[in-house]
């Protein structure tokens, strides 16, 4: 009986401290071959530390890291040959062109992809000879993705690849990441964007203050959340608080401009009763929004902090 193939990435009890700060504490996870695993967390949660230890850019204090079964701490050169990476805090020289950059990086590997093919694959042919400082944010990130696969690795580590990109460029990058997964690659993706993690990742690990506090499929994480659906609606005439509170299934209600925001255990029944209430009183619904529980709710439950608030704070 043959043994199962090794995990694309295996991290065991990884710990790293910077002075008194524990950047990573006993972090363990596996990324199966062909899987996209999302590492989700706020700034300072430890995502970059974990990724840097995994890539051999930092020496962990304890723990083990394997890339396709190769011990990255004992054999870093071989591990590096098997992994492709796009780093968050990395750039290229201002005047280097995509063709030169791909040619340079390809030259270090015995079985590298052809730069011309990569330029085409990542839609950079038109900019092949343009200096790096003239490329847009999206083009730069596409170039970094191309550089990450220049050694034709089966394992990819992408550290916030879509950070700072406009929605269109982000969608384009999502397409490329999905294409890389379709090609059978194992991908570890760290991201700030919950929607992106939900859309792209097969599984998600939530990092908080250096600890991996949850690991599961996005749908399973949401299904396990205690959060209930939320309804937000506006009406032509004001509704009394008591009438809203009396709607079936409602557990919480808060006023908002020209309407109410409420949590319900049974969205269908609540909406039905709300329609009847409005018709009886000659009132009219201006708009109605249904918010299903999301990763944001999961994050709030697990960390006690709201994702939107914390990311807004960080941006400030």
Partner 1 sequence: MIRGSAIAGLLRHFLLTLRLNIRSTQALVYGYLVPVFFLLAFGSVFRADTPPLLSQVGQLLTITILGGACFGLPTGLVAERERGVWRRYRLLPVPTGGLLAGTLLARLVIVASAVLLQLGLARLIYGTPLPLHPMQGIAAYFVVAFAFLGLGLLVAALAGDVPAVQALGQCLFLPMIMIGGVGVPLSALPIWAQRLAGFMPGRYAVDVLQRCANDPRGLAGAGFSLIALLVIGAAAGIAGNKLFRWDAGRRAGRRELAWAGVALLAWLAVGCAALATGRLKSVLPPGGGYGTITDAQMESITYDDLTGDNELVTRLAPPFNPAQRPAFAAEFAAKLRDWPPGRVADAAQRVRHLLSVAAIADISADLHEAEIGRVVFEELQLRVDPERLRLVLAWIILQPDEGRFLTRTPELGLRRQPPEPLVRERSIYYAKKYLGRLLGKIRD
CB atoms within 10 A of CB 72: 25
**Of 13, 21, 62, 90, which lies in the binding site for partner 1, with binding defined by CB under 8 A?**
90
Q: Is 108 in the site for partner 1 (CB under 8 A)?
A: yes
* Distance, CA of 153 to chain centre: 21
Identify the residue among 28, 30, 34, 57 touching partner 1 (CB under 8 A).
57
The stretch near partner 1 (CB under 8 A) out of 1-9, 33-41, 81-89, 304-312 is: 81-89
How many residues of this chain bind partner 1 (CB under 8 A)? 25
Assess 100 for contact with partner 1 (CB under 8 A).
yes
Burial 91-105 (b: 16+ CB within 10 A, else e): ebeeebbbbbbbbeb
Give 91 or 279: the residue with its C-beta nearer to partner 1.
Answer: 91
If one counts every other C-beta atom within 10 angstroms of the C-beta of residue 265, the result is 12
Does 9 bind partner 1 (CB under 8 A)? Our answer is no
* Contact flag: residue 147 with partner 1 (CB under 8 A): yes
Binding status of residue 103 toward partner 1 by CB under 8 A: yes
Near partner 1 by CB under 8 A: residue from 55, 70, 244, 274 = 55
Which of these ranges, 22-30, 36-44, 74-82, 189-197, lies near partner 1 under the rule CB under 8 A? 74-82
How far apart are alpha carbons 172 and 55 in whole angstroms?
Answer: 26
44 lines the binding site for partner 1 (CB under 8 A): no
Q: By CB under 8 A, is residue 107 in contact with partner 1?
A: yes
Residue selected from 13, 21, 62, 91 as contacting partner 1 according to rule CB under 8 A:
91
> Counting contacts by CB under 8 A, is residue 127 touching partner 1?
no
CB nearer partner 1, residue 105 or residue 299: 105
By the criterion CB under 8 A, which residues form the site for partner 1? Answer: 55, 57, 77, 80-81, 85, 87, 89-96, 100, 103-105, 107-110, 131, 147
């Amino acid at each position: 009986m043959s043994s199962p193939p090794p995990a694309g990435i295996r991290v065991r009890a990884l710990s790293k401290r910077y002075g008194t700060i524990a950047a990573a504490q006993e972090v363990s996870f596996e990324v199966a071959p062909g899987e996209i695993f999302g590492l989700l967390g706020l700034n300072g949660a430890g995502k970059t530390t974990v990724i840097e230890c995994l890539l051999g850019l930092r020496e962990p204090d304890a723990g083990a890291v394997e890339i396709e079964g190769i011990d990255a701490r004992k054999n870093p050169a071989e591990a590096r040959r098997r992994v492709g990476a796009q780093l968050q805090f990395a750039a290229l020289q201002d005047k280097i062109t995509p063709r030169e950059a791909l040619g340079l990086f390809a030259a270090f590997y015995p079985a590298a992809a052809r730069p011309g093919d990569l330029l085409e694959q990542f839609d950079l042919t038109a900019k092949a000879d343009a200096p790096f400082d003239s490329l847009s944010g999206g083009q730069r990130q596409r170039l970094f993705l191309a550089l990450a696969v220049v050694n034709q690795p089966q394992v990819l580590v992408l550290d916030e690849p879509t950070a700072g990109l406009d929605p269109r460029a982000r969608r384009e990058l999502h397409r490329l990441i999905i294409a890389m997964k379709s090609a059978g690659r194992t991908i570890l993706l760290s991201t700030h964007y919950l929607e992106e993690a939900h859309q792209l990742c097969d599984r998600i690990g939530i990092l908080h203050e250096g600890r991996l506090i949850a690991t599961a499929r996005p749908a399973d994480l949401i299904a396990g959340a205690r959060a209930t659906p939320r309804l937000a609606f506006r009406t032509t005439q004001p509704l009394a608080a008591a009438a809203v509170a009396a709607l079936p299934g409602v557990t919480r209600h808060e006023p908002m401009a020209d309407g109410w925001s409420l949590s319900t255990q049974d969205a269908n029944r609540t909406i039905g009763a709300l329609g009847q209430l409005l018709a009886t009183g000659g009132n009219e619904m201006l708009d109605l929004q249904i918010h299903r529980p999301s990763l944001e709710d999961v994050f709030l439950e697990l960390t006690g902090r709201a994702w939107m608030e914390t990311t807004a704070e960080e941006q400030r």
